[in-house]
Structure 1
Amino acid sequence: MSSVQFATLYAGRLLLGISNGFYLTYSATYLGEIAPTHLRGSAVGLVTFQTSFGALIGVLVDNYTTKYQSRTSYLIPLGVMFFVPVFLSIGLIFLPESPRHYIRLGSDVKAEHALRTLRGIKDHSQLMAEVAAIREAWMLENAHSENIRLVDAFRGTNLKRTLLSLCCSIGQTASGVIFFSSFSIYFYAEAGVKNEFVWVMMSLAIALTGNMGAFFVMRLIERRVLLSICSIVNALIMFAIAGVYTRLSTGSYTAAQVLVAMGTLFTWVYGIGQGPVLWALTVELPSQRLRSKTVGLATGCNYIFAWVATYCSPYFINPTAMNWGPKYCYIWGASNLVLGMWALRVIPDVKGKSLEQITGSMIGQPEKNADDTVAASG
């Protein structure tokens, strides 16, 4: 904000990218480790709500600062972004550490205190049962290796869990949401949609209702089923957009209406199913000892694929290049179809299972869940 030098602006952007990478990795991991079993998927899925709400605020501020012809046009949007990290930094002071982190450090007493604070459990026997279940899973995973190394994520039973987590994270880009979020305003403008900023804001606002609905839907529908259904629906939406623009001209009023309607429906379906489920699975599937490393690796791989999609998209849709325009959605329709079929056939059933149960099922151990005891009496 203080400089107009190109190198300084890039340095600032680099710092923002690093902080965002840490935030997405550890916020999702933290939510996954502190939430009770029946709320874990819904809680982690709220990461999608965070990004959608932030995007809505960003577009809203950008829309009303475009009238300024000075540096104010971008200084105001950048200044607004200070509020969130300041608020989070203060709030984090009052949050306890994850009980699973304390187990990793060998401090059962602190883990018990963290559980009491997070869950409001007062019965000492219930607390001890949950701490014991977490410790047992931790010891089981450390039976073959005491040191935690990233290479362990690609060995033995961890290999399957790591690959599933990586694929779920990359699925965020495969859904086409990166394309829509990055190029929706330009996309609408090229398609002849008037007041494109307003339509994008309306689309994001409607998507937020899907994000909020996901909190309840994920408690009712199995993860892979919900992901498969939403992916297939969004594949049909993408094919519909591309099909309309194959038959009609880019400047057609009817085609523009279809684009806005289908684009809005796409973001809503993504918000209620694909985004929350993919985030939840990315966090739930890795082993306890390698979770933060695996989630970080998965998020990084998704960033690479997102960069590739962002880099290639202008060449497909720009009139001076390949000039596909909205017909580019054929590619994203196909990727959504593949994602839906893959989810139904490959993703394991983790709904209603604690992180320790998931670990047990992955390595062929009997399932145990202290959460069941807590939930039954709570």
Structure 2
Amino acid sequence: MEKSHEASEPQEAGPEWRTAEGVRDTSLRGNWRILLVTLYIGMSLFEYGFDKGVVAGFQAMPGFLQVFGYQTPDGSWEIESTPQQIITSFMTVGGIVGSLATGPIGAHLCRRYSLMIASVFIVASTVIMSETTSFGALYFARLLVGVANGVFINFATVFLGEIAPPHLRGLCFGIACFWITLGRVIGMVVNNATADIMSRKAYQIPLYICFVIPVFLILTLPFLPESPRWLIQHNRPEEALKSLRAYRKGTYDEVAIQQEFEEMKMVAEHEAAAGKDWRLMLEMFRGANLRRTIISIGVTSANAGVGTMFILSFGTYFLKIAKVSNPFMWTIVTNCFGLVGLILSWCAITRVGRRRLILASCIICAVAMLLVAVLYTVPGLSPSKAGTGLVVAVSLFLFGFNFGLESYAFLTSGEMPAQNLRAYTQGLSIAVSFVLAWVCTFTAPYFINPAELNWGPKYGWIWFGSSIITIAFVYFMLPDVNGRSLEEIDEMFRNKVSTRGFKTYVCVEVEQARSRGTMNALAHGEKTLDQEDIQDEGNAKNVS
């Protein structure tokens, strides 16, 4: 097999393997089916965002604190640091468990059914949280929520990465992540509406909303075509080709479909020798896969590295102890800036690429954390000015976070691993991210709680330093894979391409696989798409 070469030293393409090109419609209008599937799969991420928005507000909600908190001598309601730690951090612990289980689950269970299991867990945990008055049951429910969200995040990411065409993979995941931000904002809006109810209904009403999406997914997921890459990895090529045709209908002609199918087969053949038993996970730490594992873990850990969990988990409580008036309202406002950042990223992703957006996101978050720390370190600053500055800083942080990290860190970590290791590596990387998030949520109360160290916003100094380290990792380690197929990424890692070389590398093995796909299509007399199937042929372009 010939080795790949840099674009500056192009390989001569002989006529024996560059005989014809497949037709691919890259327009958004033409790809409406895959965008609709993206919105559908992305619904599973709503629960993760909604949980962040809802539970973070419970800690400042009298109706919740009457059951799980205590009343101070002046008549106000507070919560002790230990329940505060466990309620928030147990979701993260569950996320670790769910993420680590992703590899073994994904090795035997398809992507759709894995999402269905997570949906069942969400329904069960919501019933417990809304009805119990026991700390033990509440803690168990929080653990179960975390397991479900760990499975949701991993399999939704993997599923989208495996079915989206290369040129739309970034945009698709950005759209899917809209559900996380939307869930968080809706959770906060509902909390704001129920915060003054002086009964258990104050937190039960927000929890009841959690039932809608998982029940819908349980009823509809069986009708969604399975990931063609998962099917071909499990020796079901006929079903894989049928699934690929379903996801590329109206945008790829048969030549292009056969080309992509041959790419998948090529990678499956490379990985066949590794086997499928428990020893497969050890391959994550060997040879070229070790580099892929480090990058995957590093890019998901960037979420924790910039202090995200500090802002998301304690945002409302944080504003409250900083004496910002109406913290519920301002939490909604700051998260709306995050929604703006996410939407703007959709316009930039196909032009700029994931690497630059993630780097820009880390830089913005670092500046925001510096501003938070400085505002409450400078002596003589009035509380009103400090409060205003704090709202601006949190808004800036959430804008930056949604602009790159939340939208594309999980996707990028899922693009890095080998196909047969994707669920294992993705699960491990997100598990590590959850571990770091747990450390933050478990220790943050000691720093910010008035009964403990009482640092308040000065806690931002720690996260500013951590953000600088995160920026350095992304700059030096994360390659640019914008527009590349998963098979091209696999070939570049196997051939030990440098971080800077990914953008211009020519993948010869993938080109040869596409040539075989062309031969297969032409041998069976297949034709390209009719004009009526291509809605915008002026925007169609060949991918060679």
Q: Is residue 298–residue 473 contact of structure 2 (8 Å, CA) maintained in 1?
A: no
Gaps of 5+ in 2: 1-129, 496-506, 519-527, 529-539
Matches within 5 A, 1:237-276: 237-248=368-379, 252-276=383-407
- 1:147 and 1:3 map into 2 onto residues whose CA distance is 42
Q: How far apart, in 2, do the equivalents of 1:250 and 1:73 lie?
A: 36
Displacement of 1:85 in angstroms is 0.8
Give the Å deviation of 1:221: 1.1
CA deviation profile, 1:253-277 (whole Å, cap 9, x unmatched): 1111111011101101111112223
Tell me which residue corresponds to 1:376. 541
Matched residues in 2 for 1:9 and 1:235: separation?
34
In the aligned structure 1, how far is the partner of 2:345 from the partner of 2:136?
41
2:248–2:257 contact (8 Å) kept in structure 1: no
Deviations 1:124-159 (A, max 9, x none): 22221111111101211334x223521121122111
Give the distance between the partners of 2:314 and 2:203, measured in 1 at CA.
19
Q: Provide the residue aligned with 1:33 in structure 2.
A: 162
Find the residue that maps to 1:49 and give its secondary structure: helix
Measure, in 2, the Cα distance between the counterparts of 1:234 and 1:76. 33
Structure 1 residue 48 and structure 2 residue 197: aligned? no
**Most deviating of 344-353 and 28-37:** 344-353
What percentage of aligned pairs have identical amino acids? 34
Match of 1:72 in 2: 201
Deviation readout 1:211-235 (Å, 9 max, x if unpaired)? 1222231211133222222212221
Work out whether residues 305 and 466 of structure 2, in 8 Å CA contact, stay in contact via their aligned partners in 1: yes
Structure possessing the higher radius of gyration over alpha carbons = 2
2:492 maps to: 361
CA distance in 1, matches of 2:256, 2:265: 14
CA offset at residue 344 of structure 1?
Answer: 1.0
For residues 423 and 157 of structure 2, what CA distance do their matches in structure 1 show? Answer: 9
- Rate the CA distance shift 1:122–1:47 in 2: closer, same or farther, 3 A: closer
Distance, in Å, in 1 between the alignment partners of 2:202 and 2:350 is: 43
**Deviation for aligned residue 1:173:** 0.8
- Following superposition, the deviation at residue 367 of structure 1 comes to 5.3
Q: Which residue of 2 aligns with 1:230?
A: 361
In structure 2, C-alpha distance between the alignment counterparts of 1:254 and 1:8, rounded to whole Å: 42
Residues 258, 3 of structure 1: alpha-carbon distance in 2 compared, 3 angstrom cutoff = closer
Range with bigger deviation, 187-196 or 122-131: 122-131
1:132 is the counterpart of 2:262:
yes
Q: How many residues align?
A: 377
Using structure 1 for the length normalisation, give the TM-score. 0.93
Q: 1:12 to 1:133 in 2, by over 3 A?
A: same
How far 1:122 moved relative to its partner? Answer: 5.8
Task: Give 1:158's match in structure 2, choosing from 289, 293, 296.
Answer: 289
Q: Are the aligned partners of 1:192 and 1:250 in contact in 2 as well (CA < 8 Å)?
A: no
Paired with 2:135 and 2:318, the residues of 1 have a C-alpha distance of 27
Contact 1:41 1:218 in 2 (8 A): yes
Does the C-alpha gap of structure 1 residues 3 and 327 become closer, same or farther in structure 2, counting only changes over 3 Å? closer
Q: Deviation at 1:377? A: 5.0
Q: Secondary structure at the match of 1:147?
A: coil
What amino acid does structure 2 have at the position aligned with 1:225? Answer: R
Asked whether the equivalents of residues 96 and 117 of structure 1 are also in contact (C-alpha less than 8 Å), the reply is: yes
Q: Is the 8 A contact 1:235 1:332 kept in 2?
A: yes
Q: Which moved further from structure 2: 40-49 or 92-101?
A: 40-49
In structure 1, the partner of 2:215 is: 86
Q: Is the 8 A contact 1:29 1:283 kept in 2?
A: yes
Alignment of 1:196 onto 2:327: yes
More displaced 10-residue stretch of structure 1: 123-132 or 244-253: 244-253
Distance 2:212 2:382 in 1: 41
One-letter code aligned to 2:465: A
Q: Which amino acid aligns with 1:11?
A: F
> Contact 2:364 / 2:396 at 8 angstroms: preserved in 1?
no
**Cα 1:361–1:367 shift into 2, 3 Å:** farther
**Structure 2 equivalent of residue 211 of structure 1:** 342
Contact map agreement 1:52 1:208 (CA 8 A) in 2: yes
Cα distance, 1:249 vs. partner?
A: 5.5
The secondary structure found in structure 1 opposite 2:350 is coil
- Deviation for aligned residue 1:167: 1.2
Could you tell me which runs of 5 or more consecutive residues in structure 1 were left unpaired when the two chains were aligned.
none
Deviates more, 1:36-45 or 1:242-251: 242-251
Q: Distance in 1 between matches of 2:282 and 2:400?
A: 36
- AA at the equivalent of 1:267: L
Tell me, in whole angstroms, the C-alpha distance in 1 between the residues paired with 2:139 and 2:301. Answer: 26
Q: Distance in 2 between matches of 1:245 and 1:233?
A: 19
Shift of 1:351: 1.1
- Asked whether 1:221 is paired with 2:365, we answer no
With over 3 angstroms needed to count, the CA separation of the structure-2 counterparts of 1:246 and 1:7, relative to structure 1, is closer
Tell me if 1:329 matches 2:460: yes
Query: Is the Cα contact below 8 Å between 1:45 and 1:215 reproduced in 2?
Result: yes
**Which has the larger displacement, 96-105 or 310-319?**
310-319
2:510 partner letter: K
